[in-house]
């Protein structure tokens, strides 16, 4: 999983519709002040914590920027990963180096004792985080370069 090609859209779920007769795929509409987008949620989509999606929920949906999309408005993407966010929370999916700095050099992690660290399927992760693909949930950052944060949660993308 190469996170550099995954782009998040953060917003509220406005609508959820079944897409097929077997009800295995859904189309969700995500709205934010800047944009509106449709996401196809299929059996291949990773939904962190396997939470049931519902209208009004704040989420971050990631799509692969290397996959072609139809030229329609609002845009329609195939969701690769979707996660619920707390209010005021941000999320980043990136590979973090040995100093826990993202590959874009836009965030450095200061992991605390109370930072929840799990795998995608919710199991505790007890190995080093260095040089791994991480989904990081955080709120406040410093004004340093790169900004530093103590994440609330980290999901290791094994």
31-54 pLDDT, tens digit each: 998 999 999 999 999 999 999 999
End-to-end CA distance of the chain: 9
CA distance 22 to 67: 25
Q: Supply the pTM of this predicted model.
A: 0.90
CA 56 to chain centre: 17
Q: Which DSSP category does 151 fall into?
A: -
Question: Model confidence at 89, in pLDDT bands (50, 70, 90)?
Answer: very high
Largest CA distance in the chain: 51
pLDDT digits (tens, 9 = 90+) for 118-135: 999 899 999 999 999 999
């Amino acid at each position: 999983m190469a996170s550099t090609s995954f782009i998040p859209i953060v917003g509220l779920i406005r609508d959820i519709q079944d897409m097929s007769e077997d009800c295995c795929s859904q189309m969700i509409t995500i709205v934010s002040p800047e944009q509106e987008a449709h996401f196809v949620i299929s059996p291949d989509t990773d939904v962190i914590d396997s939470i049931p999606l519902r209208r009004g929920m704040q989420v971050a949906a990631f799509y692969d920027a290397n996959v072609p999309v139809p030229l329609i408005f609002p845009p329609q993407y195939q969701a690769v990963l979707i996660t619920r966010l707390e209010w005021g929370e941000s999320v980043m999916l990136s590979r973090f180096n040995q100093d826990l700095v993202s590959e874009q050099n836009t965030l450095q992690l200061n992991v605390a004792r109370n930072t929840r660290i799990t795998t995608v399927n919710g199991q505790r992760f007890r190995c080093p985080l260095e040089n791994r693909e991480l989904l990081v949930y955080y709120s406040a950052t410093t004004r340093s370069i790169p900004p530093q944060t103590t994440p609330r949660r980290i999901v290791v993308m094994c």
